[in-house]
Structure 1
Amino acid sequence: MTIYSALKLPRIIQNLKTVVQLRQGFSSHAKYAEHKPIELIRNIGISAHIDSGKTTLTERILFYTGRIESMHEVRGKDNVGATMDSMELERQRGITIQSAATYTLWKDTNINIIDTPGHVDFTVEVERALRVLDGAVLVLCAVGGVQSQTLTVNRQMKRYNVPCLAFINKLDRQGSNPYRVISHMRSKLNHNAAFIQLPIGLENNLKGIIDLVGEKSIYFEGPLGTELRYDEIPQDMRAESQEKRQELIEHLSNADEKFGELFLEEKPFTEADIKAAIRRSCIKREFTPVLVGSALKNKGVQPLLDAVLEYLPNPGEVENIALVEKDGQDTEKIVLSPARDGKLPCVSLAFKLEAGKFGQLTYLRCYQGVLKKGDTIYNARTGKKVRLARLVRLHSNQMEDVNEVYAGDIFALFGVDCASGDTFVTDPKLNLAMESIYVPEPVVSMSIKPTNSKDRDNFAKAIGRFTKEDPTFQFHYDSDVKETLVSGMGELHLEIYAQRMEREYGCPVTLGKPKVAFRETLVSPCAFDYLHKKQSGGAGQYARIIGVVEPLPATHNTVNEFADETMGTNVPKQFIPGVERGFREMCEKGLLTGHKISGIKFRLQDGGHHIVDSSELAFNLATHGAIKEVFNEGSWQILEPIMLVEVTAPDEFQGVVMGQLNKRHGIITGTDGAEGWFTVYAEVPLNDMFGYAGELRSSTQGKGEFTMEYSRYSPCLPDLQEKLIREYQESQGINVEKKKKKN
């Protein structure tokens, strides 16, 4: 035997041991189909800003729990890519586009995991995942800290009341600083956060972690970090770990009443007391435990899995509410029971749709009861019934058939015609529905057309599928500009769908210049008194409406309101829906620039009707006339979407970056800096952000990066308003000339 092979032998033996352990882990997956008590189930999501290491962390979790045999990187040099990035486009770009579901087993507990995208353009994927999850892992980059999308994810967690653990990742990177990250968590996210772990060394010296609760150090040994070695806390870190443990105890005593009493009475408390207090306060969202590690370097992942089991709730500890419609009354809220005995009717929520090779794949979360293969379920919205021929659980893009699912499980069905957010029940008499998912309004529109006219059929199929799967991706034909438009959350969002059409449907498309979703609104209240009268033999039309159209406050400038303030019978109640429908129809297209009207309130105060000639149609047309009257007499302005922009680049480019943002009418709201890098926060109109990615890259030698997300609508500058009005009038004039030629 050569010296070289003798040196390699211990490593080969170690690798064989690892493979044997993983094989044992795989055989344990046969246990997954067993009916487990609800205490041994966790539904978690992994959410964070772009490039914080979510998919890498999920890959490590699947490897250590024996779900996959080998680990691959997100931008894999071996051309494999991460398991959860199953789409070819995701592997090529190194980003997550669709949330992917999987399940695994850790210490006899089933963990359902959803890996979500970090890019703001795919924010609806995160919304859908958090709507059905019981807990989440908020991943933070040790260098970047709290970034723009972290704030968005935090807001989404708050909206659905999802408890979370924080995991500070990438401690092996140059410039990593977990202490700065936790101070940002407290100041920017308003979390009552404290370390429950500390890193032993940083950057290239990251050796392991200190468990502050158990007062021990953990080292990750072996070629893939599979062997955990527990030891005493290093001598040089004892003072710091004692100080941080005391800080943890103080934060816990503020968050948990029971633990606070022990602390005030100065009674001794055990490791079990601290763990119980962390669990109680974490589930109530009053405390956020902070863990540390580096997923890429295989450090800190197993203790994170232990923390998921110890501190995040099982489905039985989360209150899930359904709405029951009463006859002629308001809806009533009822709490669903997570009991897994099958005595109660099943209630499930469809949270994501995907077109697979076997037809539409619908992801559902079961909230109550048991669902078995062969059962019949009903769509609470449409009343349609479906017989379940197949139930599957998902592991990224692979499927595994199951015979039954219980409350707390995440599963999928084939061939069910439904929309995202529909509720399915086994007993249609219940007349109940779960609250649906919040879907943000699209902010960017582009014209789209197939490059080859022969691809129209494939183009229609692709559009039909993508608009059904993603509610933020919308499609409509604009008869004025004679163009087909797609709308979405950003340029990248629309670009990805254009590439998917070419890859998945063989239909290359051409995208036009992005169009921004401007809005029109009223500046000051304007009264109206409009009479619609038409008599041409036979039954005529007669309707008179009187009232006021007024602007809503700036905080509500994306919605419209209708108020019926009529007294008596001057406007009969059966005609009021016609007035409201007329108002809503006119708001679809403003008369100033052709964009939607928003931020106004239509107050119907009085009117008049004719005993024979009045109808709902007459009042509908009268409302059209009244809005046109208000348009001519009132003062109108155009609103544009304002984006929260966050730019990160090396210090030497700070002046250039700020100059670019000012040139684009941006308002700088704050700056931040750490170790040679700076971050600028600004509010910039979306209309001025097109082409910024290229400009930033070229002016910062490719080192600068930025993210943006929708913030609010705000009045645009007068010169832009004049330009938009002029362009709209010119386009209308062209259409008029064409009509004259035709006639």
Structure 2
Amino acid sequence: MSFVRSLLGGLPRKVSFKAATASFVQAAPPSTLSLLPIGLGRRWQSSEAQAKDLDRLEKLRNIGISAHIDSGKTTCTERILYYTGRIKEIHDVRGRDGVGAKMDSMDLEREKGITIQSAATYASWGDNNINIIDTPGHVDFTIEVERALRVLDGAVMILCSVSGVQSQTITVDRQMRRYNVPRISFINKMDRAGANPFRIVDQLRQKLKLTAAAVQIPIGSEDQFSGVVDLIRWKAFYNEGDSGQDLVERDIPEDLMPLASEKRHELIEQLANVDDEIADIYLMEEVPTTEQFIDAIRRATISLKFTPVLMGSAFKNTAVQPLLNAIIDYLPNPTQVTNTALDISKGEEKVDLKPYSGSPFVGLAFKLEEGRYGQLTYMRIYQGSLKKGSFITNVKTGKKIKVPRLVRMHAADMEDVDELGAGEIGAMFGVDCASGDTFTDGTLQYTMTSMFVPEPVISLSLVPKGKESPNFSKALNRFQKEDPTFRVHVDSESKETIISGMGELHLQIYVERMKREYNVECLTGKPRVAFRETITQPAKFNYTHKKQSGGSGQYGRVVGQLEPMVRDEETGKDTAFDNRVIGGNIPTNFIPACEKGFNDALEKGPLIGHPVNGVRMVLEDGASHAVDSSELAFRIATKNAFSEAFAKARPTILEPIMNVAITAPIEFQGSVIGGLNKRKGTVVDTEIQEDYFNVTADVPLNDMFGYSTELRSATQGKGEFSMEYKDHQPVQTHVQETLIQEYKKEMAAKAK
């Protein structure tokens, strides 16, 4: 698209892109047309359907709404749905009016006033269609944000006008960068006491290293906040009517002129750093026109060089319509985003997908839900179209599937459709697949790149209360399928069912859902931290496994060394088995058995029985017996050799370290920091904002249990905190000794 736009650069903006392209196609030589994407060229000129498709794509936006917890994402989405006519009345997020927000469709979400599952909807604004995904803010549900951003073309990052950039904002920023998602920023809660949007803009520049500038300034502040001045259109906008449904345009108030001129100049300066056209205008000391401003901000935002900052108060129904205009003006349509697939038939060669309905079908199943009528599979169509009753192929399994029912989601409601075009987000029923599966029409062997799934950091043992029912395993299987960060396994020794996840709240929610949705009440054990074991220096091994008990025995000898290994950034792996045996001392058919023995040893470390990380096993030599050697013998020999060398390699236990962010009134700063020190926390950063202070610290997860109660009592209920997994680090020596002694006692008790 940008190629065609550059060829059409001289045309005035009033000419529609479709009309301009049509005139270009008629005049262009065939050699130029061969460079155009599918959907243009001679085929396009003669096909009305393709012209319609291009027009539809130009008017489509796929966006996500992401932010730190309690920044007002769901409230903002509720207002967007109201102003676009998708809902008839506004409801309170916390469900105080007995209804609750449209996008929080689960009873649990309404009770707790938080978003647990991302919810999809779509709305129309003018001639444009917007697919919206409202994501959770709580770090425990980070996978919901991850998979939403994986399939979206743009995002709205919401910030609180008082708290600004918080811990989860930094996580969301990292996720947006991971998937190259252009974003606009919206400073919400402008009616709050202490609201200061320009301090938040500075935080975006300093903490997130973004080129950001305000495209609006507030009219009034705190409880006097009544509207915004648009620095691009050079007009003041007010919301009137019972629910702010009327957007009224007026001249800028005289007393705001100096601030408006200053901030407009700052906007031009920031844009000049990232856009050549504005740089030329700036050097000539001119002011860009509204059209030049909009085009430049759009170019810079889509190329990830700039984020425009808007402001308003969703709760007070102020300045949400200008946000909708900004979504249309500045965020990309599906043709302006490059989505890449891997062609399996050509050795996973990268292929750029063409977002046109005339192309062969490629779609990604990015989220699963158990619906009333079977599995509901959320699908992003990258190219081609998906029709009800058509046959599609799951690339991973090779299975051909008929699409029984297609729907467009509106939170928990759904609307049946016969077809979803390229660039759309919808859902299909009755198709069995896994999250992250790629579907094609069968002519292509493409697969989409997988999304990043963080490792669980906390575990609980789970026992059904009373008699075990089939619903217990049914619920656990369903939750595992829906949520890649929720894991279930049965402990081989205690035979207990262990569930693992991203935090205490994450696991609590699933236990609660089992009770409500499957009528299975469960008892949970004490939370257990996901410790890891590793080595800090290399160690050699030379181990012989011999067993003779009548008949053929067992014999296998392995020689080599264990060495510490750093995580590979590309693959994410930090364990490896390296075979360097030459001369056939270990027959090649036994090498896979040696690798299996190594993998067996990784599952349960010798120190406290937790998985082993950061180890490479190098197999250098060995010996075999013509009769007694077997796969089992070499598997056992490798496992035992690992344990022997592990003990000599200065082993250590690693514990998950959490990045904890706390906000509390300034008078409690001493007791909060004292509490962190008591929990072996390391303070990374402190910041004071008027009456409140923010502190960021790295604290071992093992020391964080019960912290919410302690913080509440230390701050008279006014403090709040959030935490996020940072990395695994070695535990202190005395803690390691205690953990090993406890593990030995546990093993001795089981042996009795």
TM norm structure 1: 0.91
1:116-195 mapped onto 2 (5 Å cutoff):
116-195=135-214
CA contact 2:367–2:379 (8 Å) conserved in 1: yes
Please state if 1:546 is matched with 2:565: no
CA contact 2:556–2:624 (8 Å) conserved in 1: yes
Q: Which moved more, 1:664-673 or 1:459-468?
A: 459-468
CA contact 1:168–1:291 (8 Å) conserved in 2: yes
- Tell me which residue corresponds to 1:688: 703
CA contact 2:60–2:333 (8 Å) conserved in 1: yes
Please state if 1:596 is matched with 2:611: yes
Check 1:316–1:575 CA distance in 2 against 1; reply closer, same or farther (3 A cut).
farther
Q: 1:456 aligns with which of 453, 469, 480?
A: 469
- Tell me which residue corresponds to 2:450: 436
Q: 1:479 aligns with which of 492, 497, 501?
A: 492
Check 1:34–1:450 CA distance in 2 against 1; reply closer, same or farther (3 A cut).
farther
CA contact 2:375–2:431 (8 Å) conserved in 1: yes
Residue type at the aligned position of 2:238: Y
Please state if 1:200 is matched with 2:219: yes
Please state if 1:664 is matched with 2:683: no
Please state if 1:331 is matched with 2:331: no
Q: Deviation at 1:605? A: 2.5
Instruction: Tell me, in whole angstroms, the C-alpha distance in 2 between the residues paired with 1:612 and 1:271.
Output: 85
CA contact 1:38–1:340 (8 Å) conserved in 2: no
Q: 1:500 aligns with which of 485, 498, 513?
A: 513
Q: Deviation at 1:375? A: 0.7
Q: 1:402 aligns with which of 384, 392, 417?
A: 417
Instruction: Tell me, in whole angstroms, the C-alpha distance in 2 between the residues paired with 1:541 and 1:368.
Output: 57
Please state if 1:587 is matched with 2:602: yes
Q: Which moved more, 1:279-288 or 1:381-390?
A: 381-390
Check 1:385–1:292 CA distance in 2 against 1; reply closer, same or farther (3 A cut).
same
CA contact 2:465–2:522 (8 Å) conserved in 1: yes
Query: SS at 1:597's partner residue?
Result: coil
Residue type at the aligned position of 1:135: G
Q: 2:280 aligns with which of 261, 273, 280?
A: 261
Deviations 1:222-272 (A, max 9, x none): 111111111111111111111111111111111123332343355663211
- Tell me which residue corresponds to 1:242: 261
Instruction: Tell me, in whole angstroms, the C-alpha distance in 1 between the residues paired with 2:394 and 2:175.
Output: 26
- Tell me which residue corresponds to 1:108: 127
Q: Which moved more, 1:177-186 or 1:266-275?
A: 266-275
Instruction: Tell me, in whole angstroms, the C-alpha distance in 2 between the residues paired with 1:409 and 1:250.
Output: 36
Check 1:708–1:555 CA distance in 2 against 1; reply closer, same or farther (3 A cut).
farther
Instruction: Tell me, in whole angstroms, the C-alpha distance in 2 between the residues paired with 1:481 and 1:726.
Output: 18
Q: 1:274 aligns with which of 293, 296, 300?
A: 293
Q: Deviation at 1:722? A: 1.4
Residue type at the aligned position of 2:290: E
Instruction: Tell me, in whole angstroms, the C-alpha distance in 1 between the residues paired with 2:392 and 2:573.
Output: 37
Query: SS at 1:439's partner residue?
Result: coil
Query: SS at 2:256's partner residue?
Result: helix
Instruction: Tell me, in whole angstroms, the C-alpha distance in 2 between the residues paired with 1:337 and 1:573.
Output: 46
Q: 1:513 aligns with which of 526, 548, 554?
A: 526
Please state if 1:388 is matched with 2:394: no
Query: SS at 1:191's partner residue?
Result: coil
Please state if 1:222 is matched with 2:260: no
Please state if 1:424 is matched with 2:478: no
Instruction: Tell me, in whole angstroms, the C-alpha distance in 1 between the residues paired with 2:564 and 2:113.
Output: 45
Instruction: Tell me, in whole angstroms, the C-alpha distance in 2 between the residues paired with 1:352 and 1:481.
Output: 33
Residue type at the aligned position of 1:680: V
Instruction: Tell me, in whole angstroms, the C-alpha distance in 2 between the residues paired with 1:472 and 1:610.
Output: 45
- Tell me which residue corresponds to 2:543: 530
Q: Which moved more, 1:498-507 or 1:84-93?
A: 498-507
1:643-658 mapped onto 2 (5 Å cutoff):
643-658=658-673
1:611-650 mapped onto 2 (5 Å cutoff):
614-650=629-665
Instruction: Tell me, in whole angstroms, the C-alpha distance in 2 between the residues paired with 1:694 and 1:554.
Output: 36
Residue type at the aligned position of 2:310: L
Instruction: Tell me, in whole angstroms, the C-alpha distance in 2 between the residues paired with 1:204 and 1:396.
Output: 32
Q: Deviation at 1:631? A: 2.9
- Tell me which residue corresponds to 1:29: none
- Tell me which residue corresponds to 1:47: 66
CA contact 1:480–1:732 (8 Å) conserved in 2: no
Q: Deviation at 1:562? A: 2.5
Instruction: Tell me, in whole angstroms, the C-alpha distance in 2 between the residues paired with 1:257 and 1:575.
Output: 63
Instruction: Tell me, in whole angstroms, the C-alpha distance in 2 between the residues paired with 1:326 and 1:571.
Output: 35
Instruction: Tell me, in whole angstroms, the C-alpha distance in 1 between the residues paired with 2:160 and 2:506.
Output: 24
Instruction: Tell me, in whole angstroms, the C-alpha distance in 2 between the residues paired with 1:625 and 1:461.
Output: 37
CA contact 2:476–2:488 (8 Å) conserved in 1: yes
Deviations 1:626-651 (A, max 9, x none): 11211343321100000000111111
Check 1:573–1:345 CA distance in 2 against 1; reply closer, same or farther (3 A cut).
farther
- Tell me which residue corresponds to 2:460: 446
Deviations 1:137-171 (A, max 9, x none): 00000011000000000000011110000000000
Instruction: Tell me, in whole angstroms, the C-alpha distance in 2 between the residues paired with 1:550 and 1:578.
Output: 20
- Tell me which residue corresponds to 2:719: 704
Structure 2 gap ranges (5+):
1-51
Query: SS at 2:693's partner residue?
Result: strand
Q: Deviation at 1:338? A: 0.5
Query: SS at 1:499's partner residue?
Result: helix
Q: For the aligned residues, what is the CA RMSD?
A: 1.9
Instruction: Tell me, in whole angstroms, the C-alpha distance in 2 between the residues paired with 1:547 and 1:535.
Output: 25
Instruction: Tell me, in whole angstroms, the C-alpha distance in 2 between the residues paired with 1:151 and 1:294.
Output: 22
Please state if 1:91 is matched with 2:110: yes
Check 1:354–1:554 CA distance in 2 against 1; reply closer, same or farther (3 A cut).
closer
Residue type at the aligned position of 1:152: T
Residue type at the aligned position of 1:460: S
Instruction: Tell me, in whole angstroms, the C-alpha distance in 1 between the residues paired with 2:475 and 2:408.
Output: 26
Query: SS at 1:596's partner residue?
Result: coil
CA contact 2:238–2:248 (8 Å) conserved in 1: yes
Instruction: Tell me, in whole angstroms, the C-alpha distance in 2 between the residues paired with 1:451 and 1:250.
Output: 64
Q: Which moved more, 1:596-605 or 1:404-413?
A: 596-605
Query: SS at 1:95's partner residue?
Result: coil
- Tell me which residue corresponds to 2:306: 287
Q: Deviation at 1:620? A: 2.3
Q: Which moved more, 1:655-664 or 1:229-238?
A: 229-238
Q: Deviation at 1:66? A: 0.3
- Tell me which residue corresponds to 2:315: 296
Q: Which moved more, 1:566-575 or 1:278-287?
A: 566-575
Instruction: Tell me, in whole angstroms, the C-alpha distance in 2 between the residues paired with 1:155 and 1:610.
Output: 54
Q: Deviation at 1:300? A: 1.1
CA contact 1:481–1:731 (8 Å) conserved in 2: no
- Tell me which residue corresponds to 2:14: none
Check 1:554–1:112 CA distance in 2 against 1; reply closer, same or farther (3 A cut).
closer
CA contact 1:458–1:507 (8 Å) conserved in 2: yes
- Tell me which residue corresponds to 2:37: none
CA contact 2:95–2:111 (8 Å) conserved in 1: no
Instruction: Tell me, in whole angstroms, the C-alpha distance in 2 between the residues paired with 1:246 and 1:269.
Output: 10
1:722-737 mapped onto 2 (5 Å cutoff):
722-737=737-752
Residue type at the aligned position of 2:498: L
Deviations 1:392-448 (A, max 9, x none): 110000011100111111111112111111111111x52221011211000010111
Q: Deviation at 1:611? A: 5.4
Q: Which moved more, 1:457-466 or 1:363-372?
A: 457-466
- Tell me which residue corresponds to 2:10: none
Q: Deviation at 1:100? A: 0.3
Residue type at the aligned position of 2:721: F
Query: SS at 2:173's partner residue?
Result: helix
TM norm structure 2: 0.90
Deviations 1:53-91 (A, max 9, x none): 000000000000000000001013211100000000100
Q: Deviation at 1:554? A: 8.1
Residue type at the aligned position of 1:65: T
Query: SS at 1:37's partner residue?
Result: helix
Instruction: Tell me, in whole angstroms, the C-alpha distance in 1 between the residues paired with 2:710 and 2:189.
Output: 29
Instruction: Tell me, in whole angstroms, the C-alpha distance in 1 between the residues paired with 2:619 and 2:268.
Output: 59
